[in-house]
Amino acid sequence: MEGERKIRTFHRRVTPKSAGLRLDTYIFVSGTGLSRTQIQRAIKEGKVLVNGRRARASYRVKAGDEISAEFEYYEPPTDIVPEEGDVSILYEDEDIIVINKPPGVVVHPAKGHLTGTIVNFLYHKLINAPGSERKRPGIVHRLDKDTSGVMVIGKSEVAVRDLARQMATKEAKREYLTVVWGDIPKAGTVEAPIGRHPIYRERMAITVINAKSAITDYEPLERYGFATLLRVSLRTGRTHQIRVHMEYLGHPVVGDPTYSGRDIGTITGILKGVSAPVEEILAAIDRQALHAHRLTIRHPTRGKFMEFVAPLPEDMERLLRVVRGAKVG
């Protein structure tokens, strides 16, 4: 079943704080609950007006602009199921929850994953908590199923809107740790557009077809000759961005089954004769060695900057013990 067809209306006056945002970004961070694709489709169809006139998605909103819109969407036929689950909470107050997401757990319910997600677990927590303004957790950014690390979730409507704005404008800073194949001697930047793979639709790829700009900064922290521990930060937030960019750079993330990180032929080519315990390394971790290590945000109601660090999970600690102890030939 597709769900119940509904119409959602939207009307806002742009504040000076939001001036300069793209029109589609402004609507996205304003708490509509719609995806960027849905918003961009509505703009293209002329269902979004700026001061009573149609505008492009790329229009930069100005303070005082009157934005009105009408969105058609389908209400999901099933509701979120509250479930008891173990969630590692790094920080919590009346507005936000910061968690250390474990690997192997999906963030949001979707087809094939209606239960056992972070949202299911946090929903159970919130509906049983007295005085919580918002009972459903407000997801403002996501991590891949097999990526671990720090995430912030909104508990109030104000928090959800402001956190979404911080993510979209990159006021929020996200830093990752990853182990990649090969030796990377110095810091650098990958700038290459990412879009859906033209053949394998579950994958992303470097492409100019229906792609969006993507920029990733990286810095080596430890070099092992056959692999490198990197600190990575994102200037954009595309699906699978770090994994796709590292493969494009010629240094796929260790253990990544989708982007060459477990492909022996590719790994052998990268090492170019350098002997390394490849099988032992791959046995140490059964997912991509990627961890969201640090998150910096401005608290949505108190205004102060806050930094949260998620310790490495056991499988990445195990991987680092193996690569640090390996002898390079």
Q: What does the pLDDT read at residue 1?
A: 34
Q: What does the pLDDT read at residue 76?
A: 46
Residues 178 and 59 grouped into a single domain: no
Q: What does the pLDDT read at residue 309?
A: 98
Catalytic residue among 144, 146, 162, 183: 144
Residue range 108-146, pLDDT digits in tens = 887 777 889 999 999 988 887 766 556 688 889 989 999
CATH number at residue 47: 3.10.290.10
Q: What does the pLDDT read at residue 114?
A: 82
Please say if 263 is a catalytic residue.
no
Residues 12 and 159 grouped into a single domain: no
95 domain residue, yes or no: yes
Residues 196 and 297 grouped into a single domain: yes
Residues 93 and 32 grouped into a single domain: no
The domain of 56 spans 4-75
Q: Is the pTM of this model over 0.85?
A: no
Q: What does the pLDDT read at residue 292?
A: 98
The encoded tokens of residue 250 equal: 């010629």
Ranges of residues in the chain with a pLDDT under 50 are: 1-3, 75-78
Q: What does the pLDDT read at residue 240?
A: 96
55 domain residue, yes or no: yes
